[in-house]
Amino acid sequence: MTERVIVHLDMDAFFAAVEQRDHPELRGLPVVVGADPKGGKGRGVVSTCSYEARRFGIRSAMPISEAWRRCPGAVFLPVRMNAYAQASDAVFGVLEEFTPDLEPVSIDEAFLDVSGSIHLFGTKRDLAERLCERIESETQLTASVGIAPCKMVAKIASDLRKPRGIVIVEPREVEAFLRPLPVGKLWGVGKRTQAALENLGVRTIGELAERPREELVRHFGKQGEVLHDLAHGRDDRPVQTESETKSIGREHTFEQDTNDPLLIASTLMKLCEGVAFRLRRAGLQGRTVTAKIRFEDFTTLTRSTTVASPLDAAARLYELASASFGRVGLKGRRIRLIGVSVSGFQARPRQLTLFGEEPGAAEREEKQRLIADTIDRIKARFGQGALHHGTTLERPGEEE
């Protein structure tokens, strides 16, 4: 039986690294990419920061005002998505030389399944070193790599020795590798679940692995079964190539469970903007919109809507997803997570007809797509924070 060899590659401080590459005078300085701090009064968040900035305690998703307070002397820059997309394309061009079994996770992160081709590169370390060297040679950017028998372990491994880290976990080493790590390293273990586990005396993955499966199910329901498997390094999820992707979506877990309708609406619009951006970048449209909601008790519901005309515009996604939430009936219940995804793909038309005898549905869809294209071009030139739908202005949201 062929050994399963999964690679997780994660670019190091990607947005900030691109800025330091393109502006050498910024090298060695604390660089923060994200919203305008406005002297500590700005709204929005940090998208990425350099390792020099991280020494001040700055991190991704931190409120930009807090980042400014921690290091007012840092270099604060707006998001230049076009530059990052170009760098990302170059990185993925290198990855495609190593295997066709490639799953993009985000603009700066991917899984590769090299189970059938590892022999072409020598050892696993040989593969990791060649991969990192090729990326640095082509892009002048650095990456960290984790190699393991499954996706979750590979992902954890790639995070441990950044930047320029290479961590290889052999099949026989998986449980020993996981055992001393904080339980929060496991997929699906957020702050709330981690706190619940700590209340049970579980602080490390090893301590979780020692708990009987039945006990975890009693406390966490079906999630307990997943936690038990992951604690033992059991994760059979395949690397899914772009051609196999059935949906494009985004999710957001709130730092604290909420029933604030403005926060929920603003976050949902940000998610819809992100999904729409990814759809248009992939040249796709979809007919089925699925909204996902997880309540504070981990009850999770999904509602799907299929429309006649395929779409890729954030406003239309928001309209359908918001209507789905309305069908669920929130009634003041506190929400842990929301998400939106699109499926039922077809290729996006290249030619758009803007005018017709009657302003029918098709014409309205085409006008929405033209507006979306214009928004994409503005964001590509001036950054992702240059334009947002009005709904997103009610609360600061995460940057794409």
Contact in structure between 142 and 174 (CB atoms under 8 Å) = no
What is the Cβ-side half-sphere exposure of residue 221, based on CA atoms within 13 angstroms? 5
b/e code 284-323 from CB counts within 10 Å (16+ = b): bbbbbbbbbbbbbeeeeeebeeeeeebbbbbbbbbebbbe
Contact 286, 347 (CB under 8 A): no
Rounded distance, CA 284 to CA 288, Å? 12
User: Do residues 364 and 328 make contact, with C-beta atoms less than 8 angstroms apart?
Assistant: no
In whole angstroms, give the CA distance from residue 100 to residue 95: 8
Cis peptide before 163 (omega within 30 of 0): yes
In the set 52, 109, 399, 400, the catalytic residue is: 109
Give the Cα separation of 60 and 67 in Å (integer). Answer: 10
Q: Which amino acid is at 345?
A: F
11-27: b or e for each residue (b if 16 or more CB lie within 10 Å)? bbbbbbbbbbbeeeebe
Burial class (CB in 10 A: 0-12, 13-18, 19+), 344: middle
Q: Is 331 left (phi over 0), alpha (psi -120 to 50) or beta?
A: left
List, edge to edge, every strand of the sheet that includes 335-347.
Answer: 247-258, 335-347, 284-295, 300-311
Separation between Cα atoms, residue 220 and residue 195, nearest integer Å: 13
109 classed as catalytic? yes
Active site residues: 109
